[in-house]
Amino acid sequence: MRFEVSHVLDAIERRLTTEPSLARGVLDLAEIVRYVDLDGGRPATVVRLGLVIDAIARHLGEENVSVYCIVDKQMLSDLDVPSSERMVVRRWADDGHVEVVQGAQMRVREVSEVAGLPIISRFLPGWSTAPAPGGAAITVRGPVPGGPSDLGRRLMSVRWRCPDPECALFADMRVAVGQPLPALRGNPLCPRHGAPLADTGPAPISDVLAVRVGGIIKQRFLVTSAAPVLVGRAPDGQWEGSDARAIVLGPWLDEGAVKAISRTHLTVSLDRAGLSMKDVSMNGAWVHPGGDKIAPQQPRVLGPGEYLELYPGVEVGRPGTFGPAGVAPQSVLVDAPTVSFRPPNS
Ligand SMILES: [Zn+2]
């Protein structure tokens, strides 16, 4: 049993982000873990976060959605939460996947207002969670913010650093994956350490992209001017000596797509010229609308409203730009990569 729980928690970990532009909502973990009605199980368990993340995915019609998760400090000593789970949450905090704060409810409201994310909660206005057949469901209750406030945009345009050398939230290593929203008590503070943040200059410019397979968004990802992102069947992170990050398409591809899509098919980079896509594959990439093949091995700036197709039904672009869903062949629809949710012996 513990083995399965640990696998569920590993899968949940991949859905946690403290980068506001990737998160689809913000929540208070202590509230979710004690939501017994969701599954009628034990008094408190982090596994319930998985039910809520699945509900958000169904609500949005997207897979692999990420949430901005706030952990109240008190939860870490809540004896109803199994100690093995509390240990995992502490690790998440140390790695910067979640924020541990004093007073989570206040912080949830702040992130929602300033970063423009819906609150996922039983009590607060926003996206309400309730039990539903097979887990949880989201109903919209009250207004949902439409995007970051002006203050939020200003805060996110600066690269902040926490004076605590152990801080995983505001550290140099996060330059390619974004940074959390500073807390505000007069000055920008680290939400975990309460220390004033140092302004280290403008943040790298960034853009949110998505991979869509068979008409369904499988994964959103951040591209920053700090490092390129590689997209392919199984990209090699060591690319031309850079510390590029990789988007692995392999698990979402059918047999035809697996043959047609190269290990590293596309490099995506961002600079003042815009968002550049370079086809580094064997078979090519096509730009839509229009469907023209792009020149191989040469950066192609992706204009507003454009996206690339690597194979019929396998697309990369800004989430709002894809053509209507359902034009892709059904055969591209494959099972979601649920490997880690499967029982160990299946
Ligand atoms: Zn800090």
Are residues 315 and 336 part of one domain?
no
Instruction: Calculate how far, in angstroms, residue 191's C-alpha sits from the geometric centre of ligand 1.
Output: 7
Instruction: Calculate how far, in angstroms, residue 301's C-alpha sits from the geometric centre of ligand 1.
Output: 36
Instruction: Calculate how far, in angstroms, residue 244's C-alpha sits from the geometric centre of ligand 1.
Output: 25
Are residues 71 and 165 part of one domain?
yes
Instruction: Calculate how far, in angstroms, residue 113's C-alpha sits from the geometric centre of ligand 1.
Output: 21
| Each residue's pLDDT tens digit, 296-324 | 999 999 999 999 999 999 999 999 999 77
Are residues 168 and 120 part of one domain?
yes
- 30 lies in which domain range? 1-204+329-346
Instruction: Calculate how far, in angstroms, residue 251's C-alpha sits from the geometric centre of ligand 1.
Output: 36
pTM score: 0.89
Instruction: Calculate how far, in angstroms, residue 102's C-alpha sits from the geometric centre of ligand 1.
Output: 13
Are residues 311 and 338 part of one domain?
no
In a domain, 209, yes or no: no
| Each residue's pLDDT tens digit, 30-81 | 999 999 999 888 999 999 999 999 999 999 999 999 999 999 999 999 999 9
Are residues 195 and 227 part of one domain?
no
In a domain, 148, yes or no: yes
Are residues 238 and 100 part of one domain?
no
Instruction: Calculate how far, in angstroms, residue 19's C-alpha sits from the geometric centre of ligand 1.
Output: 15
Query: Facing residues of 208 across strands?
Result: 222
**How many domains does the chain contain in total?**
2
Which of 252, 300, 120, 101 is closest to 182 using CA atoms? 101
In a domain, 210, yes or no: no
| Each residue's pLDDT tens digit, 67-123 | 999 999 999 999 999 999 999 999 999 999 999 999 999 999 999 999 999 999 998
Instruction: Calculate how far, in angstroms, residue 153's C-alpha sits from the geometric centre of ligand 1.
Output: 20
CATH of the domain at 253: 2.60.200.20
Percent of the chain with pLDDT over 90: 77
- Using the predicted structure, report yes or no on whether residue 327 has a pLDDT greater than 50: no
- Using the predicted structure, report yes or no on whether residue 346 has a pLDDT greater than 50: no
Instruction: Calculate how far, in angstroms, residue 175's C-alpha sits from the geometric centre of ligand 1.
Output: 15
Are residues 187 and 70 part of one domain?
yes
Least confident of 2-6, 216-220, 290-294: 2-6
| Burial of 58 per CB tally in 10 Å (0-12, 13-18, 19+) | middle
Share the mean pLDDT of the chain. 89
Instruction: Calculate how far, in angstroms, residue 45's C-alpha sits from the geometric centre of ligand 1.
Output: 27
Are residues 25 and 166 part of one domain?
yes
Instruction: Calculate how far, in angstroms, residue 127's C-alpha sits from the geometric centre of ligand 1.
Output: 29
In a domain, 211, yes or no: no
Confidence (pLDDT) at 345 = 39
Return the amino acid letter for 133.
P
| Burial of 272 per CB tally in 10 Å (0-12, 13-18, 19+) | exposed
CB atoms within 10 A of CB 115: 24
Are residues 252 and 132 part of one domain?
no
Instruction: Calculate how far, in angstroms, residue 164's C-alpha sits from the geometric centre of ligand 1.
Output: 5
Are residues 144 and 41 part of one domain?
yes
Are residues 172 and 51 part of one domain?
yes
For residue 110, CA distances in Å to 68, 118, 155, 156 come to 12, 11, 13, 14
Instruction: Calculate how far, in angstroms, residue 133's C-alpha sits from the geometric centre of ligand 1.
Output: 40
Are residues 174 and 76 part of one domain?
yes
Confidence (pLDDT) at 177 = 80
